[in-house]
Amino acid sequence: MTVIVNRRVINVSRSGIRGAPGADGAVQPQPLVMCGITGTANALTLTPSTGYAASGDGSAQLFGGVAGFDNTGAVTVEIAGLNTGDPRNANLPGGAAVSIPAGTLQAGEYCEFKFIVATGLFELTCPASAGAAPQPVVDCTITGTNSLVLTPKTGYVISGGGVAQRFYGKAVADNTGAINVEVVGANTGDPRNTLMPNGAAVPAGLITTGQMIEVKFLETTGLFELVHPTLVADSEGGLTTYQRIEARRSADNAAKAATLSRRALLT
């Protein structure tokens, strides 16, 4: 099968990535599906990028991408592979059927939607409209390489230590190893380790300069989890696809070295 590792296509022998059948045949949905956005200012079509896919009823996923227009009024959303050909209204968060105000979506800016099964409609999770604080997703400015400091932009509010919020922004450097995160207003001056969804350290090179990254705080552990980009636990020993490929590469190198040693003894 084919998987995407840091935007590179790699063929591996067993499945286990989100959005594709795993070893038991079950679909493992990605928590955040990155999409290309087309359509018009108020009628958006989101098409999952290569390696991403809508799964099930989509309720366990978020769908994000860069808007191509400023919206001029209420918005409808169509997710390819989820509600193809059946655009649904998208409302502000909070449970009330409040349409997205004109100008909330900005051309060239990131936006994100969640499907609400109970209503059959979408909810805008990012950006948050004025007066919607605390926001479920907080837009931040990011500094640092492996020790990241996320500073919420003007208008965004941290609530309850950030437990019910997610934090995103654009990376300014490629990470060279495990990372920790400090969100100003949540854990100021107290950076916390940030792990992959399966509990492994973030591998070097997973985060690239200019890439949108998103983290959430885990109250149970006191640590952060990387929501995007993600490499998910594979069926082989709980390793990520990246770790499994690296392990196989190391094993192959060791086997080659042993073969060369044997040949040297025979000559």
Q: What is the distance in angstroms between the CA of the first residue and the CA of the last residue of the chain?
A: 41
Domain assignment of residue 236, yes or no: no
172 with 219, same domain: the answer is yes
Domain assignment of residue 8, yes or no: no
Domain assignment of residue 100, yes or no: yes
143 with 115, same domain: the answer is no
Domain assignment of residue 200, yes or no: yes
127 with 144, same domain: the answer is no
Q: What is the value of pTM for the model shown?
A: 0.62
Rounded CA gap, 84 and 150, in Å?
36
Q: Which two tokens stand for residue 164?
A: 């019910």
Structure-token match 């995103």, residue found: 168
What CA–CA distances, in Å, run from 198 to 126, 194, 243? 25, 11, 12
Range of the domain at 71: 29-132
Rounded CA gap, 115 and 231, in Å?
23
127 with 34, same domain: the answer is yes
120 with 139, same domain: the answer is no
Rounded CA gap, 115 and 142, in Å?
28
pLDDT of residue 132: 60
Q: Which two tokens stand for residue 108?
A: 């060239």
Rounded CA gap, 207 and 174, in Å?
5
pLDDT of residue 8: 37
Quick one: which of 145, 142, 147, 140 has its CA closest to 126?
140
50 with 121, same domain: the answer is yes
What residues contact residue 210 under an 8 Å CB cut-off, 6+ apart? Answer: 170, 171
Rounded CA gap, 193 and 146, in Å?
10
pLDDT of residue 251: 59
33 with 128, same domain: the answer is yes
Judge contact between 214 and 32, C-beta under 8 A. Answer: yes
47 with 76, same domain: the answer is yes
Domain count, the chain: 2
What CA–CA distances, in Å, run from 156 to 6, 72, 95, 126, 171? 29, 23, 20, 11, 19
Domain assignment of residue 246, yes or no: no
The per-residue pLDDT string of the chain (267 residues; one tens digit each, 9 = 90 and over) reads 343 333 333 333 332 333 333 334 444 568 889 999 999 999 999 999 888 889 889 988 999 999 999 999 999 999 999 999 999 999 988 777 889 999 989 898 889 999 999 999 999 988 865 456 677 888 899 999 999 999 998 888 888 888 888 899 999 999 999 999 999 999 999 999 999 988 899 999 999 998 889 999 998 999 999 988 866 433 333 444 444 444 455 556 666 677 776 667 666
Domain assignment of residue 102, yes or no: yes
Vertex 8 angle, CA 178 and 201, to 5°: 15
Quick one: which of 205, 215, 208 has its CA closest to 181?
215
